[in-house]
Chains A and B, each alone.
Chain A
Amino acid sequence: MEILLAMTIGLLYAAGIFLILRRSMVRLIIGLILLGNGANLLIFLLGRISKGKPPIIPEESKVFLDAYADPIPQALILTAIVISFGLQAYAIILVKRAYRVVKTDDIEEMITTDEI
């Protein structure tokens, strides 16, 4: 399972970076989304995965009876997902706006800001 996840993460990072290096704005956004997902999966993997052991103390006892899944990576991922949801929604609207104003999808043509 760990090997599979590690390969998925590598694939997500590679695909994300590849897409960021393209010239099209839409691919840029998709690349950023993939990178974000890769980072979230990485937190999940590095927090050690365990199956079917929620970090909840049963009602009849006072302490954990068994090894349990670390809840912190889950909380971190949840936070990171919420943040990236907001940022990506913003980025998509920005790209849409930019497309309407600049009238191109090609980042190489956005050179107004580079004038001396």
Chain B
Amino acid sequence: MIAHVVIWPILLPLVSAIVLMFFWNQSKIQRYITVLGHGITLLASFWLAMRTYSGDILTLNAGSWSAPYGIVFVADALSGSLVLLASLAAFCVGLFSVVSIGQGRASFGYFPILQFLLMGLNGSFLAGDIFNLYVWFEVIIISSFVLITLGSEKAQLEGAIKYVTMNLLASVIFLTGIAMLYGLLGSLNLADLSLKISQSEDNGLINTAAVLLLVGFGIKSAIFPMYFWLPASYHTPPAAVSAIFGGLLTKVGVYAMIRVFSLLFIDDPFIRGILIVLAVSSMVVGAMGALVQQNIRKIFSFLIISHIGFMIAGLGMFSTIAVIGMVFYLFHDIIVKTNAFMISGLIYKLRGSFRLENLGGMYNRYPYLSIMFALALFSLVGTPPLSGFWPKLFLLKASFNDLNWWIIGGIIAASFLTLIAIIKIWLAAFWKKHPNYAEAKKRIVWYDLPKIQKFTILLPIAILTFVSLYLGLNASRVVEICQLVADQITQPSVYIDAVLSNPVNQP
């Protein structure tokens, strides 16, 4: 049983979801099981991540079918870390939902669906087969469809129409790309495809498939010309749902891009060029979009788009230093974006609004909380020594090595605009006097909550702030891990050997 550590981060959420479904109408028990299930998944993921950090690539052949023929699950250092971070973020969001999700949503299956979402996320990080990746993507989107529409408010349904359309379209484009790859090369296993692509001569059609996959993943990760669905939908569901969406769903698209463009389509200057153009445009356009918004969650939504650009820029440059920066940014962004959306939910609970003009006086009333929020928000900007600083340093270093002035300009401009957006939030929500406190007080539920519930809401934010501080202050350890990841993904042969040489009956 212990040797199957690769599969546990997928199976444990599934088992918790099934247990939760048996308690469909007992939302009180569901809340305890949710925390327990996410906690156990987190432990299993932690264990898996620690095993991948020794440098091994763990594989598991499902159903004892050996590698290029059957479905294989692969955990290298990148997958292991992402599974750990996804489970951590989901644990915190689960804890946050225990209090913040009302009876109405819980009775329509909020908690089991959250577990299914985590299963899909962990599955797509561990999939070693491109069609399997597609199936996990579908698990993610069907769960996210349900989460985004639970409650059926007007804005939610309108946002959901846009979200559903774009995600279904992205799936079809992804499937078209898979069909082309299978038709050209006759394989679906990523390692096997990588070998076959390096031997094939028909580059035109393979590039077409690559661009189809780029568009499919690009829609999912909301990069420059394909991001319009994100700010139209992410601010509509409850804060807990926004948190897990903002922290993880776009990152799955980025992960898929990293996997595909580091393993399958490697030495192609055309695609690298496209990636860099898209990355710089996303950085600048996303950050400029954030400036005009008045709703905190819409500001964060636009910042997601901007910060996806940083990771894609790293993928576009693809030198070792760039990959270290990209992977570090990915780790940092998952934690900080989840935290940012949870903070916006807490601000709503404390002040009764998401809109900047109706907020204010936070620092005066809650100085210690405000400092915690400041740590989270300013690590989004990249203020040294917080966690956002180090990856930007690596990305800048990589772009100076390439003397790519577009990326240098993009990173600096986007960081500066992010700083302005965050300062705007800080001034309006924390330092400004509250415009109409007596009126707003009627909508605030915070004062009526019992102490234990207040603690349960604050704890996940504190955990994630602590992790983000750890990433920033103990950056040397994180850079070691990123170095390991960079070594593994810049040398696809390691991955290919680990997958294809695995004997069958060795779990």
Residues of A participating in the B interface, judged by any CB pair closer than 8 Å: 20, 25, 28, 32, 35-36, 38-40, 42-43, 45-47, 72-73, 76, 79-80, 83, 86-87, 90-91, 94-95, 97-98, 101-102, 107, 110-114, 116
A74 to B159, CA, bound (A): 35
Instruction: Specify the main secondary structure of chain B where it touches its partner.
Output: helix
A46 to B236, CA, bound (A): 41
B236 near A47 with CB under 8 A, answer no
- Chain A residues lying within 8 Å of B294, measured Cβ to Cβ, are 116
Q: Confirm or deny: B33 has a beta carbon within 8 angstroms of a beta carbon on chain A.
A: no
Q: Confirm or deny: B157 has a beta carbon within 8 angstroms of a beta carbon on chain A.
A: yes
Instruction: Specify the main secondary structure of chain A where it touches its partner.
Output: helix
Contacts between chains A and B (CB distance < 8 A), count: 101
Report the minimum CB–CB distance from B63 to chain A (whole Å): 13
A-B pairs with beta carbons under 8 Å apart, 24 shown: A25-B161, A28-B161, A32-B168, A32-B169, A39-B175, A45-B183, A46-B183, A46-B184, A72-B182, A72-B188, A76-B131, A86-B142, A87-B142, A91-B168, A94-B145, A94-B157, A98-B157, A102-B157, A110-B162, A112-B155, A113-B159, A113-B236, A114-B232, A116-B295
Report the minimum CB–CB distance from A31 to chain B (whole Å): 9
B161 near A95 with CB under 8 A, answer yes
- Chain B residues lying within 8 Å of A73, measured Cβ to Cβ, are 182
A98 to B152, CA, bound (A): 8
- Chain B residues lying within 8 Å of A42, measured Cβ to Cβ, are 176, 179-180
Closest 4 pairs (CB-CB, A-B): A46-B183, A110-B158, A98-B157, A43-B179
Q: Which of B143-189 contact A (CB under 8 A)?
A: 145-146, 149, 152-155, 157-162, 164-165, 168-169, 171-172, 175-176, 178-180, 182-184, 188
A116 to B172, CA, bound (A): 31
A98 to B159, CA, bound (A): 10
B152 near A97 with CB under 8 A, answer yes
Residues of B participating in the A interface, judged by any CB pair closer than 8 Å: 131, 135, 138, 141-142, 145-146, 149, 152-155, 157-162, 164-165, 168-169, 171-172, 175-176, 178-180, 182-184, 188, 232-233, 235-236, 292-295, 298
Q: Which residue of B lies closest to A75 (CB)?
A: B131
- Chain B residues lying within 8 Å of A107, measured Cβ to Cβ, are 161
A39 near B179 with CB under 8 A, answer yes
Q: Which residue of B lies closest to A98 (CB)?
A: B157
A87 to B290, CA, bound (A): 32
A94 near B138 with CB under 8 A, answer no
- Chain B residues lying within 8 Å of A45, measured Cβ to Cβ, are 183
Report the minimum CB–CB distance from A65 to chain B (whole Å): 21
- Beyond the given A39-B175, A116-B294, could you list 14 further A-B residue pairs with CB under 8 A, ordered by the A residue number? A32-B168, A32-B169, A45-B183, A46-B182, A46-B184, A76-B182, A94-B145, A97-B157, A101-B154, A102-B154, A110-B162, A112-B154, A113-B158, A116-B295
A73 to B161, CA, bound (A): 31
Given A39, A83, A102, A114, which contacts B138 in the complex, CB threshold below 8 Å? Answer: A83
A94 near B295 with CB under 8 A, answer no
A112 to B295, CA, bound (A): 13
A87 near B158 with CB under 8 A, answer no
Most buried by B among A36, A91, A94, A116: A94
Most buried by B among A28, A39, A102: A39
A46 near B180 with CB under 8 A, answer yes
- Chain A residues lying within 8 Å of B145, measured Cβ to Cβ, are 87, 90, 94
Report the minimum CB–CB distance from B454 to chain A (whole Å): 31
